[in-house]
Structure 1
Amino acid sequence: MSHTPRLWTVLSCSLLVASLGAGATACGSEDDPLSARPYDAGDQVVFNQKPGSRPVDPDRPLEVTLKGGDGRITDVTAVDTHGRRLAGELSADGDRWHSTAALAAGVRYTVQVSTEDGDGAPGQRTATFETTPAKKLVRAEFGPEAGTYGVGQPVTAELSEPVKDKAARAVIERALVVESSPRVDGAWYWVDDKKLHYRPKEYWPANATVSVRSNLEGVRVSDHLYGAAAKPLRLTIGDRVEVTTDAASHQLTFKRNGEVVNTIPVTTGKPGFSTRNGIKVVLGKEYYVRMRGTTVGIAEGSSDSYDLPVYYATRVTWSGEYVHAAPWSVGSQGYENVSHGCTGMSTSNAAWFYENIREGDVVQVVNSIGDDMDNFGNGYGDWNLPWKKWREGSALLSGTQDGHTPADTARLRPEV
């Protein structure tokens, strides 16, 4: 088989056109979208796209065909700027290779075509081309902020554009990567069209590290919608702190790494203001909070009205449920529930709790006569969903969506 300069010219020009949609100028021009050094090619290599201007349209698939002679394509690899390999399929006879996934937008691809002639002699061609940037992007912002958290802290992803289609959601999930050491079994849950939460099957292991990153940049999510770059996130998990408040026995039990380190007498919500049952995650700590009954609908001057300075306040819901110092109810702590929804304790006990709790730690209320904690919308109630139900909120792990609609975001208001 002849390996003449003319074959290189044909190959070079056809690669200029390759998957480029907008094509090249004269072969060998500095404006060519593909460039490569000569190699020993068996037969003519052509691409499916017609000539045009560069860069190429990422909505058009890449196709490589070998025509004439008795050679064959043995392999084609196309890797983009971020090291992502473009999936493709080679025909059984080696005459044709085509991409089976959408090209990324706004990236440079390096394409390597391996061939062999009728005598088995290998040939190789390496070329590059760029794709046009996307006009409409969806961005993901991860949360919480980098730092150290408790074992109950979910990872969040807030999207800049709503994504409703299940196939598009699956693309998003595949690209949002959560890795932990030690490794855990976890999944994303679509809280709504723009917000996702990620949690493990069980609480994070104590002292774990969690890394979150996105491979979404340039990836086609749906028609005309592509992913944008995202800032990665790294979290450290602290000790396994689990707090249980028993509203019936009026006792709070504080466990660290499986051992009870403190038991505190408390008071919780009285009838009509009962504390929510369920697992909550600490949202933050405030040394001082002014709590007023009017913020939760209690008329000023009524028998339930209050306006109090509150110290050592640990927030567990956005609607205003705290664990805090309540020196005015010390006589009831350990005996009866007299608060307006919060968990109250002595000032000294509240100071100890405040110093030993951190954001992301788990606080569970049991045996209250009140409603259950919302799964979403009023803090992190994620752990109240069984793992099977959690998986149903994933576009990748569930055959159908469960139709869950999160509660509206509650007002920021204190309850005492």
Structure 2
Amino acid sequence: MSHRPRSRTASLRAGCALLVGLVAAGGAACGGPSGQALSATPYDATGQISFSGVGGDRKADPDKPLEVTAKGDGSRITDVTATDAAGRYVRGELSADGTRWRSTAPLAAGAHYTLRVSTENEDGRPGRRVIGFDTAPAGKQLRVTFGPEAGTYGVGQPITARLSRQVEDPSARAVVERGLKVESRPAVQGLWHWVDGRTLHYRPREYWPGRATITVRSTLTGVRVGGELHGAATKPLTLHTGPRLEAIADAGTHHMTVLRDGVAIRTIPITTGKPGFATRNGVKVVLAKEPFVRMRGTSIGIPEGSSDSYDLPVYWATRVTWSGEYVHAAPWSVGAQGAANVSHGCTGMSTADAEWFFNTVRVGDIVKVVGSGGATMTPFDNGFGDWNMSWEQWSEGSALAGPATGGAAGRDAGGPADTARLRPGV
């Protein structure tokens, strides 16, 4: 940032302003110390200042401070600004006597800077020197990939950021988090949460507003993250949300209520997990829609030939966990739907209701299970269970709002890490 002490020229101008009303018409109001009028155009101050770390064809080291020094001829520096091509200012300090300015923050790597220096000579006349210089490219780069892909999603869809390198140091995490910008129209309160050293999720305090526009971008390009690691250019992301759609599946009443913008639009008889296979409670987010899935009991550890064994073609399957929990058509259990829980963990319904649900929801919509004897959906290791953390817990995973502990254990929830996780059950 620029630092501007009160100069002798500024003092003279202030004195002129006070005398203007007292000077007779046609008289000179004020001049410099030798009687000359103040110059409106700064003179070339090239001979009055020197630079450290820049000049010639060499590129400046982004990790070394930039220095500007006034030569010992009675001149002094009155102001310095250094900005890169993106308009970012470099913080710096000017000595009290105006003889030296020094940057106090690292420069961006691989960037072009414009340095503007204002001076005044021993007579108070203003000078100016403007130079451009480039910084050396980063030796190590941190790349960021945002997710999901651009498109329209439900209001429960978290934003993900995948880093190309592990970041563990709390101060480096703070730099990263500060440089990852998320803006929503309408505006929301939200935070990044460190899932692990290479994965961050962003969610608002509440769900996203319906019909919102969300933009995600990085300002880390060239910025020193820590050590020799600097941010690389990142492709921005724009998302939209559809109407707020929530499906509340009550395992106790055996019914699902689907709401659009808070208004119930359909109530569906369902069956959920029976004892030993109880459906997970909590908020889940629609991950994918699959018109057909072959479901086998062996995929969830049920041996062939046992009373629980199955091998079934399943239609209109809406996935809510990577381990194989779906909302799907279950024509074989229509007699129990609305009355009992007989599935192996999925939410089953009639073929007509499942087709309607499949065609109504989109990826990112909310499926909330209540009243089940199962455990609560985990936050990160089996899909998007982000909403099952309180805002206080979520904030603790931010390097800016709380202690960055690395978040809950788990792999990247942005998609399946291997095919073993894609095991459907009915």
Task: Say which is worse superposed, 293-302 or 76-85, in terms of deviation.
Answer: 76-85
Corresponding residue of 2:158: 154
Contact 2:156–2:365 (8 Å) recurs in 1: yes
Corresponding residue of 1:312: 316
Contact 1:375–1:406 (8 Å) recurs in 2: no
Match of 1:113, as an amino acid? Answer: V
Matches within 5 A, 1:11-30: none
2:400 matched to 1:396? Answer: yes
Q: 2:301 aligns with which of 297, 300, 303?
A: 297
2:370 matched to 1:366? Answer: yes
Give distance in 2, aligned partners of 1:45 and 1:131: 21
Corresponding residue of 1:407: 410
2:92 matched to 1:88? Answer: yes
* TM-fit CA distance, 1:407: 3.0
Contact 1:42–1:71 (8 Å) recurs in 2: no
Secondary structure at the residue paired with 2:335? coil
2:182 matched to 1:189? Answer: no
Secondary structure at the residue paired with 2:188? coil
Corresponding residue of 2:346: 342
2:379 matched to 1:375? Answer: yes
Give distance in 1, aligned partners of 2:401 and 2:99: 37
* TM-fit CA distance, 1:96: 2.1
Give distance in 1, aligned partners of 2:57 and 2:133: 12
Corresponding residue of 2:8: none
Structure index of larger Rg:
2
Contact 2:194–2:404 (8 Å) recurs in 1: no
Corresponding residue of 1:271: 275
Q: Give unpaired runs (5+ residues) of structure 1.
A: 1-37
Identity %: 63
* TM-fit CA distance, 1:53: 6.1
Corresponding residue of 2:228: 224
Deviations for 1:102-160, whole angstroms, at most 9, x for unmatched residues? 11111111111122334443222110111111121110000000000011100000011
2:325 matched to 1:321? Answer: yes
Task: Say which is worse superposed, 69-78 or 300-309, in terms of deviation.
Answer: 69-78
Contact 1:374–1:407 (8 Å) recurs in 2: no
Corresponding residue of 1:248: 252
* TM-fit CA distance, 1:90: 2.2
* TM-fit CA distance, 1:76: 1.3
Deviations for 1:234-286, whole angstroms, at most 9, x for unmatched residues? 00111011111111111101010010111111000001110001111110101
* Cα distance change on mapping 1:116 and 1:51 into 2, 3 Å: closer
Give distance in 1, aligned partners of 2:60 and 2:46: 27
Match of 2:150, as an amino acid? Answer: A
Corresponding residue of 2:51: 47
* TM-fit CA distance, 1:296: 0.6
Corresponding residue of 1:103: 107
Give distance in 1, aligned partners of 2:119 and 2:392: 49
Secondary structure at the residue paired with 1:83? coil
Contact 2:197–2:406 (8 Å) recurs in 1: no
Match of 1:405, as an amino acid? Answer: A
Deviations for 1:361-388, whole angstroms, at most 9, x for unmatched residues? 1111111101110110100011111111
Match of 1:351, as an amino acid? Answer: E
Give distance in 2, aligned partners of 1:310 and 1:61: 64
Give distance in 2, aligned partners of 1:325 and 1:235: 30
Contact 1:42–1:115 (8 Å) recurs in 2: no
Normalising by structure 2, report the TM-score: 0.85
* TM-fit CA distance, 1:55: 1.2
* TM-fit CA distance, 1:71: 3.4
Corresponding residue of 1:168: 172
Contact 1:43–1:69 (8 Å) recurs in 2: no
Secondary structure at the residue paired with 1:191? strand
Q: Which has the higher contact order (CA 8 A, sep 6+)?
A: 2
Deviations for 1:268-319, whole angstroms, at most 9, x for unmatched residues? 0001110001111110101111111111111011111111111111000010
* Cα distance change on mapping 1:42 and 1:106 into 2, 3 Å: closer
Contact 1:42–1:117 (8 Å) recurs in 2: no
* Cα distance change on mapping 1:71 and 1:43 into 2, 3 Å: farther
Match of 1:173, as an amino acid? Answer: E
2:222 matched to 1:212? Answer: no
Corresponding residue of 1:75: 79
Give distance in 2, aligned partners of 1:154 and 1:50: 44
Q: 1:141 aligns with which of 145, 157, 182?
A: 145
Secondary structure at the residue paired with 2:196? coil
Contact 1:43–1:70 (8 Å) recurs in 2: no
* TM-fit CA distance, 1:403: 5.8
2:377 matched to 1:385? Answer: no
**Root-mean-square deviation (CA), in Å?**
1.8
Deviations for 1:1-56, whole angstroms, at most 9, x for unmatched residues? xxxxxxxxxxxxxxxxxxxxxxxxxxxxxxxxxxxxx9432972122338886112
Match of 2:409, as an amino acid? Answer: P
* TM-fit CA distance, 1:212: 0.7
2:288 matched to 1:284? Answer: yes
